[in-house]
Amino acid sequence: MSSAARRALVTGASSGIGEATARLLARSGYRVALLARRTAALETIGSEIERAGGQAPLILTCDLTDHTQVESCMAELAEEFGGLDLLVNNAGIGYRARVEELEQTNLQRVFDTNVLGLLWMCKAALPQLRKGVRPVVVNIASVVGRRGIPGQAAYAASKAAVCSIGEALRLEWAQDGIHVSTLNPALTATGFFEAQHNPAGLSDPDTSTAAASIDVAQHVLQLDDRPIPERCLRWKWRLLAVLSVLRPRIADRLLARRLGGGWSPPKV
């Protein structure tokens, strides 16, 4: 199947990486479904995609933490698309706080959205992916899913779960010919935690910078063309992840030096 006929669903498509990915896929000839909680934002993006010459996107308003909404949206997609060739699990929430400062409500939202929401979407999308041609799933995780950093234990744990889900799905779905890739943007690449106005430390992918979002979107397009198990977008983070396994104390010292701000590993 040519890219002109490929059917894609992008979650968290109302802003940031999701929006950039949806726009890029549409420009590349994909038929795109946009899924997020904010209907007005999705409709605006959809109208702009049409005016730019793309096919009219399918607008799906959905809270991923509600599995009944997820199933309803997938039923609508099945009726409109008749199958799915690319699923981009991008929707997510960030949470920056020391463990001693964690708040139950915010912590629950992070895991409900980043982990359970992704799992619900994968489960609901599977029948449509089985109908797809060379189906591909790209899960947007994070470099901190492979190497946690201070002040982001909750977010890092949620993204580590996304990495583990990808590893499991690669084997579970291989017999169906479904490729599963994990994409790990670097925090400095996406600007994900740049919003300082939120005292609770809870942030949305809206804070991703435009240029960095486009960069991540281009990697999504590449992974759909040639899926690989996992891609980390910054070599220093790849090295840090390896060091964290082989030489964790060295990795701690390097990271503490990079972060500054009084972070330092205990002396042994």
The residues facing 11 across adjacent strands are: 35
Cβ(147)–Cβ(184) below 8 Å = no
Largest CA distance in the chain: 62
Tokens 């909680």 belong to 37
What residues does each domain of the chain span? 3-233, 235-268
Per-residue pLDDT of 99-114, as tens digits, reads 999 999 999 999 999 9
Query: Which residues are part of the catalytic machinery?
Result: 155
Per-residue pLDDT of 122-179, as tens digits, reads 999 999 999 999 999 999 999 999 999 999 999 999 999 999 999 999 999 999 999 9
pTM of the model: 0.89
Helix (H) or strand (E) holding 7: strand 7-11
Cβ(81)–Cβ(129) below 8 Å = no
Task: Give dist(CA 157, CA 90) in Å, integer.
Answer: 16
Per-residue pLDDT of 68-86, as tens digits, reads 999 999 999 999 999 999 9
Tell me the CATH architecture of domain 3-233: 3-Layer(aba) Sandwich (3.40)
